[in-house]
Amino acid sequence: MADIAFLLLIFFLVTTTMDVDTGIIRRLPPPVEEEIDQKIKERNIMNVLVNKNDRLLVNGLPGSVESLKDVAKNFMMPHYPDNPNYPEVELKNINLLGDIYTSKGVISLKNDRGTSYDMYIRVQNELARAFNELRDELSRERFGVKFSQLTDEDRVKAINEAIPVRISEAEPESIGGQ
Amino acid sequence: MSKFKTKKGKGSPAINTSSLPDIIFMLLFFFMVTTVMREVTLKVKMKLPTATEVQKLEKKSLVSYIYIGPPTNAAMYGTESRIQLNDQFARVNEIPEFIASEREARNEADRPLLTTSLKVHNETKMGVVTDVKQELRKAGSFRINYSTLKGIAK
């Protein structure tokens, strides 16, 4: 009996893969029927371009992945009083948080067809890190714990509303070829 | 004469093994229950990129996978990254059909929660990925997940 059990046990031991699927979760925008020129003020946009050689252009200047997080964080932080070098701020009344200034900034990410997937994920990761750090800071300040450790659904919602992940991916264009 | 003999040089008694099958069975059941059999055979190479800001994918039954990467059999299919749906290579325009059939397989209430997980080899060019994303947008499957490993990016 024990032998058969052993045999089966070894079979299942070998075939088991205990990997948990992890990844960066994003939401795609619905398709646009025709080009609508959405007017967003220049100061509210941070442009991130990745070319086919995996080089970065942040707001028209060459940038690096290492510094991208700090630049994005600085950009997305609500600056009050109104500062023309940073995105506009808006006074919002959010449940649990009360009146709070939220940034109207949007990070526009554009990549080329020739950009490597590895680089794309690194950029996405850095941008996600910027948002997560901002959320952590706000969460610590208001609720005393990190954002990821918030258990109350309403609090998570409140922080989400105060610092929404605003990464816009431009319609693809082929510039540099494959 | 001594009534109390000192046990010397006798060695330790053999361990009672009568409960061994029980323990083995317990382990066996544990592994049987936790095992998830791989559903598809990969035809493309899979080396996922690493990222730090990852989230766990909840509810595996609501996830459909799209694999993109260079074919394992390079002699036959070349080295250019290809898309794999289910068990075979596919072209970009087959994605809406795939999404539709994946939706069909779930019950009505779960359909809006369907997530598409993109498992992409890290040397793939974004061109293919962008095409796939465009198709997913058209198919109305907006929740996506870039599958990555958790770790520090090199």
Q: What does the domain layout of chain B look like in residue ranges?
A: 50-150
Assign domain B50-150 one CATH number from 3.40.50.300, 3.40.50.720, 3.30.420.270, 2.60.120.10: 3.30.420.270
Candidate from A5, A16, A116 with C-beta closest to B25: A5
- The length of chain A is 178
**Structure tokens, B31:** 């592994």
The answer to whether the Cβ–Cβ distance between B117 and A20 falls below 8 Å is: no
B53: Cβ–Cβ under 8 A, 6 or more apart, which residues?
A24, A125, A128, A129, A132
State the helix-helix crossing angle for B126-139 and A117-143, rounded to 10 degrees: 60
Which chain A positions have a beta carbon within 8 Å of B20's beta carbon? 2
* pLDDT for position A177: 46
Element (H, E) at B99: helix B95-105
Chain A closest CA to B8's CA: distance in Å? 34
Per-residue pLDDT reduced to its tens digit, A116-125: 888 888 888 8
pLDDT of A93 reads 82
Cβ–Cβ below 8 Å for A9 and B24: yes
Question: Between chain A and chain B, how many beta carbons pairs sit less than 8 Å apart?
Answer: 144
Between B77 and B152, whose confidence is greater? B77
- Residue B110: alpha-carbon gap to chain centroid: 21
**What does the pLDDT look like over A65-113, one tens digit per residue?**
888 888 888 888 887 777 777 888 888 888 777 888 888 888 888 888 8
Whether B55 sits inside 8 A of A22 (CB atoms) is: yes
Give CA–CA dist A141/A146, Å, rounded: 9
Per-residue tokens: B136 = 């997913």
Whether A113 and chain B come into contact, CB under 8 Å, resolves to yes
pLDDT at res. A36: 67
pLDDT in tens, B3-49: 776 656 667 888 888 888 888 888 888 888 877 766 778 888 888 88
Q: Residues of B with CB below 8 A from A15's CB?
A: 35, 37
Residues 6+ apart with CB under 8 A from A8: B28, B32
Q: What pairing do the DSSP bridges indicate for beta strands A106-111 and A98-103?
A: unpaired
pLDDT band at A178 (very low <50, low <70, confident <90, very high): very low
Of the candidates B21, B124, B153, the beta carbon closest to that of A117 is on B124
Q: What angle do CA B107, B109, B113 make, to 5 degrees?
A: 100
**Chain centroid, CA A101 distance in Å:** 20
Rounded to a whole number, what is the distance in Å from the CA of A163 to chain B's nearest CA? Answer: 16
